[in-house]
Structure 1
Amino acid sequence: MSDNRVWSYSTVLMGSPVLLKLFSHDEALASRVFSLIKKYEDLFTVNRAQSQVMEINHAAGQQSVVVSRPVYELIKCAKAASMVRDSAFNLAIGPLVKLWRIGFKGDSVPGAQDIAARLRITRPQDVVLDDAAHSVFLTQPGMEIDLGAIAKGFIADRVRDYLHQQGVSDGLINLGGNVQTLGNPQGQWTIGVKKPFADADALVGSIEVANKSVVTSGTYERYFEQDGKRWHHILDPRSGYPLDNELDSVTIISADSLDGDIWTTLIFGLGVEKGCAALRQHEDIEAIFVTKNRDIILSSQRQFRFTQCDDSYHLIDCTV
């Protein structure tokens, strides 16, 4: 459909609605973009029996598996993020994700012994990479790589690159939590920041960006309630339980969506104070924190402009 010369194309991929916006009507291009996304989804998914990542998982403790360059490079990137000291990012978190089943039928709080057993097979250093052969070996039986925390960012960047190759200077791709903008139509793109645990269209604010990625991760996205407590899908690989701190959501603004994926997880693990301190060393990465106490905290505003939409929240600008 079109709206003031903007054409929108949508489908469902990777378990999420996918939206493409272009400034010219081109159904063929939209179809090629969606096919590109599906090609990468088929390589990375762990929600089906067959994919290159599942080949690695099926061979855990037995043998190495040679994979394609995109799969190898993404796994290498994910391992590097996982090896950061005290990182909340862990590419080997698959056994814990499957144990909790958050967002799937049958989710419940696992027993402490089951969690401890899974933690023993989620060590990222047990993912052995061979750059020459492009092979991956999981040294312990039962290990499973899960790239769910990073795949959308990688794919969003590949779509951006493909659109540039096709001569598209202005556009937007939304992979459900990962928004990658191209160009600066009429000045800026306006992206909403969702209000946690509210109606789908309720916002705490909006940001204006150009040629940037906007990635949001929130405890409200997938969760269940048991024994009077809410259990969300952002697991802490250090404890085996959902991360429990002051945060409801983190939005990362960066050039690449891949960085956005990595930093939303890292920042969730660090919390506001340590997260802001870490971002002072990375001027190209910025964050918007939304807390359980109804604070909106901006690490800085070098690459975007924020407009508050909900007066029940307290806006704090920690410009560095």
Structure 2
Amino acid sequence: MFWLLEAKTTSRTQVIMSTFITIKTDKKNEKYIEDGFEIMKSVDMSLSSYNKDAKVFLLNKNLHVSLDAYLYEALSLCKYYYKVSYGYFDITVGSITKDLYRFGEDERVASASELKSAKIDFNALKFNEKEAFIEDGMKVDLGGMGKGFGVQKVADYLKKMQVDDAIISASGDIRCLSTCKIEVQNPFDEESRLLSFETLKSDMGISTSGNYNRYILSKENNHLIDPKAKKPQMLFASITLISSLSSASLDAYATAASVMPTNKAYEFLDTLDVAYIIVQSDKEIVISKNIASYVKNLSNFSK
């Protein structure tokens, strides 16, 4: 996914949360950019399952951890997302993403028997405002909402500082405090764009979940794990959501829909205050009927 903002801006990029984080704003507000990066680093120190000093890493290692405000809020949101997504947003897929495929670390292809015996059970995660516990043999992975959560925290800070013209981007999660133009990548061709649009309102989020940019050997071993079938999903190449909902929610809902059966995914998304652009694995592009309420100047380059 690509995004554009007009001239007279300052843009800076850092690698945080294992991806490129870019904050772009009017030059008069560039003094707040470093604060934004520090917020992303703080979120990473709470939610990362890779950083050995992060709260989630320690929870996975020790089966117990004391919580800070970010992680308590994130776990509370994950519990809500689990409920409203019929159990398809389940952070205990970490037992597969972390232990079996080991995405981002010593990667390997998990066998069918390993996947079948993997333990996935959100109810095995217990937490309160002070601490969290998880059962032996399990791990949690907040990658399905963590970047969106961080983007939203930066956006909230910039709004508090009365910044009303900025873009925060973390891979497929983008927040536009003013209106902006978005170009969506073709999931079948990294060098081409699929379509473009402009957000219709200020303070809108865009989140894309896809199986095309993080996999081992082939897309059949991608990082989007169906927690019920206990295997990677192959029905959707990408799902892009556009809404004024929080970026954490958009990230989680795009992740959840990506691993649902086709009919259930559309049924789920149609209950939400979102517009969507979906590229199915058969290359069919499905655009929600309400798209004109969220974007303007939609251009489809695939025709």
Scaled by the length of structure 1, the TM-score of the pair is: 0.84
Q: Give the structure 1 partner of residue 12 of structure 2.
A: 9
Aligned residues: 293
The alpha-carbon deviation at position 279 of structure 1 amounts to: 3.0
The alpha-carbon deviation at position 33 of structure 1 amounts to: 1.1
Secondary structure of the 2:142 match is coil
Secondary structure of the 2:203 match is coil
Q: Give the structure 1 partner of residue 148 of structure 2.
A: 153
Q: Which moved more, 1:266-275 or 1:149-158?
A: 266-275
Q: Residues 183-227 of structure 1, C-alpha deviation per residue, up to 9 Å, x if partnerless?
A: 23xxxx101111013134x1110121132100001111112336x
Q: Give the structure 2 partner of residue 218 of structure 1.
A: 210
- State whether residues 194 and 300 of structure 2, in contact with CA within 8 Å, keep that contact through their aligned partners in structure 1: yes
Q: Residues 209-261 of structure 1, C-alpha deviation per residue, up to 9 Å, x if partnerless?
A: 132100001111112336xx74211111112210132x110001122101111
- State whether residues 211 and 234 of structure 2, in contact with CA within 8 Å, keep that contact through their aligned partners in structure 1: no
Given the alignment of the two structures, is residue 182 of structure 1 paired with residue 177 of structure 2, yes or no? yes
Separation in 2 of the partners of 1:310 and 1:55?
A: 45
Distance 1:225 1:54, change over 3 A: closer
Given the alignment of the two structures, is residue 82 of structure 1 paired with residue 82 of structure 2, yes or no? yes
Q: Give the structure 2 partner of residue 296 of structure 1.
A: 285
Distance 1:85 1:22, change over 3 A: closer
The alpha-carbon deviation at position 85 of structure 1 amounts to: 6.2
- State whether residues 253 and 303 of structure 1, in contact with CA within 8 Å, keep that contact through their aligned partners in structure 2: yes
Q: Which moved more, 1:300-309 or 1:169-178?
A: 300-309
1:305 aligned to which of 291, 296, 303: 296
Distance 1:90 1:194, change over 3 A: same
Distance 1:159 1:240, change over 3 A: same
Given the alignment of the two structures, is residue 143 of structure 1 paired with residue 146 of structure 2, yes or no? no
1:37 aligned to which of 21, 36, 40: 40
- State whether residues 29 and 163 of structure 2, in contact with CA within 8 Å, keep that contact through their aligned partners in structure 1: no
Separation in 2 of the partners of 1:24 and 1:143?
A: 46
Q: Which amino acid aligns with 1:154?
A: F
Q: Which amino acid aligns with 1:144?
A: K
Question: Which segments of structure 1 move beyond 6 Å, counting only runs of 4 or more?
Answer: none
Separation in 2 of the partners of 1:217 and 1:174?
A: 14
Separation in 2 of the partners of 1:14 and 1:279?
A: 27
Distance 1:55 1:165, change over 3 A: same
Separation in 2 of the partners of 1:169 and 1:154?
A: 19
- State whether residues 210 and 258 of structure 2, in contact with CA within 8 Å, keep that contact through their aligned partners in structure 1: no
Given the alignment of the two structures, is residue 257 of structure 1 paired with residue 247 of structure 2, yes or no? yes
Secondary structure of the 1:7 match is strand
Secondary structure of the 1:89 match is coil
The alpha-carbon deviation at position 3 of structure 1 amounts to: 6.5
The alpha-carbon deviation at position 46 of structure 1 amounts to: 0.8
Q: Give the structure 1 partner of residue 159 of structure 2.
A: 164
Q: Give the structure 1 partner of residue 117 of structure 2.
A: 117
Scaled by the length of structure 2, the TM-score of the pair is: 0.89
Where in structure 2 are there 5+ consecutive unaligned residues? none
Q: Which amino acid aligns with 2:258?
A: F
Separation in 2 of the partners of 1:70 and 1:18?
A: 19
The alpha-carbon deviation at position 142 of structure 1 amounts to: 2.3
Distance 1:272 1:142, change over 3 A: closer
Secondary structure of the 2:22 match is strand
Which structure: larger Rg?
A: 1
Where in structure 1 are there 5+ consecutive unaligned residues? 313-320
Secondary structure of the 1:136 match is strand
Q: Give the structure 2 partner of residue 198 of structure 1.
A: 189
Given the alignment of the two structures, is residue 51 of structure 1 paired with residue 54 of structure 2, yes or no? yes
Separation in 2 of the partners of 1:307 and 1:183?
A: 18
Separation in 1 of the partners of 2:6 and 2:241?
A: 28
Separation in 2 of the partners of 1:156 and 1:106?
A: 27
The alpha-carbon deviation at position 262 of structure 1 amounts to: 1.4
Cα root mean square deviation, aligned: 2.1
**Percentage of pairs with the same residue:** 24
Q: Give the structure 1 partner of residue 168 of structure 2.
A: 173
Q: Which has the higher contact order (CA 8 A, sep 6+)?
A: 2
Given the alignment of the two structures, is residue 270 of structure 1 paired with residue 260 of structure 2, yes or no? yes
Secondary structure of the 1:58 match is helix
Q: Give the structure 2 partner of residue 315 of structure 1.
A: none
